[in-house]
Structure 1
Amino acid sequence: MKNPSLYVAAAAAVSLASVLAMPAHAADEAAGAQAQSWELSAGASITSDYMFDGISQTDSNPAVQGYLEATFGMFYAGIWASNVNFLDEADVEVDYYGGVRREYGKLSVDLGILYYAYYERPAAPYDAVEILLKTSYALTDKVTVTGNIGYVPEWADVADDYFGMDAGIEWAFYDKWSASANVGASLVGVSGSDYIWWNAGVSWTPFENVTLDVRYWDNDIASANCAIADTCDARIVATLSVDFSLTDLLHPDSAPVAAKY
């Protein structure tokens, strides 16, 4: 699996780089013509369970998370952190990331690279580097579809390449309410390790930049194949998050808050 996946990822990155370099639509060009400036955004959330690809990262316990992100034009870089619990003294996950975001009319493209670091773990690390491509397309002013693909070369815990992919849809059905669903696949070059996950939920934004999300998560992993008991079980997760622009606090009427990676 290693060599073919590496060739695919490299080809995709080269092709996307060419696309990102192409001129965007007239509206995007007009916006780009304006003087660029640094923007700084931040956010925090509390969740009943930190879920990643359909598996609990906190042994079914709550998590407190936060991020800080700087953008300049189409470029961005940031840091995101959360508590974790893998029953082996890995207590904190910190993600360092950066990349390029562009919009072409109704299409948004984001090509980034992430470094996942896990602290307080004395044994072999989970640390990994991921190349991540995220896309979204506005079908209407209320319906948006998304597609993401990630590639991790030589993932330490399985000593093989990892591919993650997912597709989703979001519907803003009433003022401050929206519903969304996602389905994804995690593909690892180890027999019996591949699985499919999915989620569906509703989000409510009672105040600007404050969101409450309630979501059902599940996957097709058999209990016997779950690395940590119960972390692969189906569950309902509630998350309260707040996002704000530090730039706006210093300079009102500036650009809106950037999306966390």
Structure 2
Amino acid sequence: MIHFDPRVLAPAAVAILFSGAVQSAEEEDASDTSDRYGSVSGSLLLSSNYMFRGISNSNNRPQVRGDLNWSHDVGLYAGIWASNTNFGGPGNSMELDPYIGFAGDVGETPFSYDIGFWSYNYPGSESDLDYQESYLVLTYKVNKFSAKPSFWYSDNYFGKDFLNGVSSFAYDLTLSYEFPLNITLSGVVGRQTFGSSADELDYTYYSLALSRTCSDFSFELSWHDTNGIEPFLADPELADGNVVVGLTRNF
């Protein structure tokens, strides 16, 4: 039988208790620092296609996407979003999008809001395709169900070298339900519209997705389609019934 000497165990116990207290204090300090200065998060996505409102922006090829976000408890957030592209003419192989916004709950109700500004930039393109959108996203969530209408407005869609001076307004509704085992089923239906001088380009987009989250990873299988796409806006093959698989790592 093995015997333990209390004179040995006592200092060890004190050391364990002290280290626990130090770790707790460090965690509390980290929490205080996070509360004071906000927190940083991000994600990395590997996907079989880059879909944007029903249209492939990667020419039906794989996408690698990253996002780095800073947020504060008061509701303010800002970040940078980046992806490869194959869309927008010669030299364009990258999209780099800074954004800023403010989000919060509406009192004690099941409603929340997110309002912000998103800038789309294509640094390698030989054409001027950069543009910006202001957005408003509302969310109604009860238990495992959520409904999320969103609204996006731009005063110059896709920059000076595409639809110069033409405004755009996109609106959609996302419905989702969370099942056991962290499985979520969601659907989106939306409408992309343009100013009166280009209203013949208006089209409808929709998608259906099934996703599962496990720890810091999430897997998604989705289907995207459109109705009313004009060849001037996009090759119909890039907007016709695309099935996409993606794996995201959150950190």
TM range (shorter): 0.7 to 0.9
More moved, 84-93 vs 58-67: 84-93
Structure 1 residue 61, shift from structure 2 partner: 0.3
Q: Secondary structure at the match of 1:230?
A: helix
For the Cα contact (< 8 Å) 1:101–1:108, is it kept in 2?
A: yes
Match of 1:136 in 2: 139
Q: CA deviation at 1:223?
A: 6.6
- Greater per-residue helix proportion: 2
Equivalenced residues, count: 208
Q: CA RMSD in A?
A: 1.7
Aligned runs of 1:225-236 on 2, under 5 Å? Answer: 227-228=234-235, 230-236=237-243
Contact 1:59 1:230 in 2 (8 A): no
Deviation digits for residues 49-84 of structure 1 (CA, Å, limit 9, x no counterpart): 000010000000001000111112210010000000
* Unmatched segments (≥5 aa) in structure 1: 1-33, 245-261
Report the CA distance between 1:175 and its aligned residue.
2.4
Aligned pairs for 1:138-153 within 5 A? 138=141, 140-153=142-155
Amino acid corresponding to residue 163 of structure 2 in structure 1: V
Give the TM-score of the pair, scaled to structure 1.
0.76
Using a 3 Å threshold, how does the CA distance of structure 1 residues 234 and 223 change in structure 2: closer, same or farther? farther
SS of 1:88's equivalent in the other structure is coil
CA drift at 1:36? 4.0
The structure with the larger Rg is 2
Question: Is the CA contact 1:202–1:214 (under 8 Å) kept in the aligned structure 2?
Answer: yes
Preserved contact between residue 93 and residue 118 of structure 1 (Cα < 8 Å):
yes
8 A contact 1:115–1:128 mirrored in 2: yes
Q: 1:185 aligns with which of 187, 191, 195?
A: 191
The equivalent residue for 2:245 is: 238
Output the CA distance in 1 between the equivalents of 2:112 and 2:140.
Answer: 6
Do the aligned partners of 1:98 and 1:114 also contact (CA within 8 Å) in 2? yes
Given candidates 208, 217, 223, the residue that maps to 1:210 is 217
Give the whole-Å Cα distance in 2 for the aligned partners of 1:82 and 1:182: 22
**What whole-Å deviation, never above 9, does each CA across 1:164-193 have from its counterpart, x for those lacking one?**
110011011222111000001000120420
Residue identity over aligned pairs, in percent, reads 26
Native 8 Å contact 1:45 1:241 kept in 2? yes
Closer/same/farther in 2, CA of residues 91 and 118 from structure 1, 3 Å limit:
same
Tell me which amino acid in the other structure corresponds to 2:66. Answer: G
Question: What is the SS of the residue equivalent to 1:175?
Answer: helix
Aligned to 1:167: 173
**Which secondary structure does the structure 2 equivalent of 1:61 belong to?**
coil
SS at match of 2:156: strand
AA at the equivalent of 1:237:
V
The structure-2 alpha-carbon separation of the partners of 1:120 and 1:224, relative to structure 1 and needing over 3 Å to count, comes to closer
Q: Which of 142-151 and 167-176 deviates more? A: 167-176
Compute the displacement of 1:197 (Å). 0.4
CA contact (8 A) 1:42 1:66 kept: yes
Q: Which moved more, 1:172-181 or 1:76-85?
A: 172-181
Counterpart CA distance in 1 for 2:126 and 2:230 is 27
User: Quick one: structure 1 residues 35 and 60, their matched pair in 2 at CA, closer, same or farther if it must change by over 3 Å?
Assistant: closer
- 2:117 counterpart of 1:113: yes
Distance 2:156 2:229 in 1: 25
Q: Tell me, what secondary structure is at the counterpart of 1:231?
A: helix
Query: Structure 2, unaligned stretches of length 5 or more?
Result: 1-33
Note if contact 2:49-2:61 (Cα within 8 Å) is conserved in structure 1. Answer: yes
Partner of 2:85: 84
Aligned counterparts of 1:77 and 1:229: Cα–Cα separation in 2: 34
The structure, 1 or 2, with the larger RCO (C-alpha pairs under 8 Å, 6+ apart) is: 1
Report the Cα distance in structure 2 between the residues aligned to 1:129 and 1:79, rounded to whole angstroms.
14
Aligned to 1:158: 163
